[in-house]
Amino acid sequence: MLPGPPLRIAVLANFDSPHAWRWMKVFVERGHEVHAISYYRPRAALPGVTVHVLREAQVHNHAAGGGSGRTIASRLPPSALRLVNAFRFRRAGLDLLLQELQPDLLHAHYVVEHGFFAALAGFHPLVISAWGSDLFQAPRTHAGAFTAGYALRHADLVSGNDPALIREAVRLGAPAEKAALVRLGLEEGFLEEPVTSVNLTPSAGPPTILSDRALEPLYNVDVVIRAFHQLRNTMPSARLIVAHDGSQRGRLEELSRESGETAAIDFVGRVDTARLRELLSSSHVYVSVPSSDSLAASTMEAMACGAFPLVSDLPSQDGWIIHHVTGLRVPVRDVRALADSLHVALLDNDLRRAALAPNRAKVEAEGSLTKNMLVMERHYYRLAGRPVADESL
């Protein structure tokens, strides 16, 4: 039951990202009026959402708002491309559409792109959500820092997925009193399913590792493959499953051939939720070693399903992955350390089994998508001038 009349929520994001849809889906199901504003028509279906396309007649590419289009604009440096896209959104009528819609609030996802575009439009109240690389990577250039700072200073609320991301948002310009921890979380199906992990009976099947991060440079899947090659010298029965997809897939498949591990590495591409649960349940170890990251939904999925997490030693893991207790943490891009940690994790059945219960409990307590979106709903009502008591949610 809603704590007040339904809100009209406008969202500016890359709607081909599953994260944007998962975020909106809760508010659609709760009866709010949700409007998605997109430069090009999204490929993804958005049931229950009113979609507003600024450039309906154009051929879809991702140059306006992030992606892999190969137009002239898409070959610009990222900082220059963001300025070009900001101009495109304004020229295409973003400001006028917001004036026409008059939503109760505008929510933009990803600070240095849609968050920046929304800030330039000048609409309030404005919520901007940071997702990780938009604050940990993009602001390393002067132009990126300017873009991030401008967006953060003009937001009425900045949300982030973990405390490290919130601290970075404040450092870059978000007022501390306007920054809030709101995790995305997992859909209830992940938490309703019982744990059937191979780690409950660790002698079953070959030692199996799952990587489920995008095949992009940031996520260091090349390091995973190199470490796996070293691991196979001492554990020849081990196998590696590489899920997901991305621009580096061809290069990574070639790397697996060069290392002589083709038969032991299975590239399965993107998988649906049911298949992902199967892969996580049948994998002894889940590996995620990006150079920078917020708390990843894929890590929470692994914890919910019982795969033992082996992750980069980043601040975003603090409070979630306790080294040698609920997982292992390794230095970024350290192949030898990753290979050694994979060996430790796969040999220590007791360590993996002992991590099952606390990891599941942690996700159930703090990683529910529905519960976390109710926190955001409370923020929405406050920003819309209709504050509600916590207990009413």
Calculate the average pLDDT of the chain: 92
Q: What is the pTM of this model?
A: 0.90
Q: Which two tokens stand for residue 291?
A: 């150079």
Q: Which two tokens stand for residue 356?
A: 């099952």
Instruction: Please state, in angstroms and rounded to a whole number, the distance separating the CA atoms of residues 29 and 9.
Output: 13
Output the CA–CA distances (angstroms, integers) from residue 105 to 12, 13, 73, 177, 228, in the order listed: 11, 14, 30, 18, 47
pLDDT tens across 192-209, in order?
A: 889 999 999 867 689 999
Q: What is the pLDDT of residue 17?
A: 86
Instruction: Please state, in angstroms and rounded to a whole number, the distance separating the CA atoms of residues 176 and 178.
Output: 5
Q: What is the pLDDT of residue 74?
A: 58
Mean pLDDT of 296-315: 96
Domains of the chain are 8-185+368-392 (3.40.50.2000), 188-366 (3.40.50.2000)
Mean pLDDT of 233-245: 96
Three-state SS for 264-293 is HEEEEECCCHHHHHHHHHCCCEEEECCCCC
pLDDT tens across 62-105, in order?
A: 444 444 445 555 577 887 888 889 999 999 999 999 999 999 99
Query: How does residue 390 score in pLDDT terms, banded at 50, 70 and 90?
Result: low
Q: What is the pLDDT of residue 44?
A: 84
Residue 118: is its pLDDT beyond 80? yes
Q: Which residue has the higher pLDDT, 277 or 75?
A: 277
Can you tell me whether residue 232 is helix, strand or coil?
coil
For the CA atoms of 374, 379, 383, 385, the dihedral, rounded to the nearest 10 degrees, stands at 60
What DSSP string runs through 157-203? EEEESSHHHHHHHHHHT--GGGEEE----B-HHHHHSPP--GGGSTT
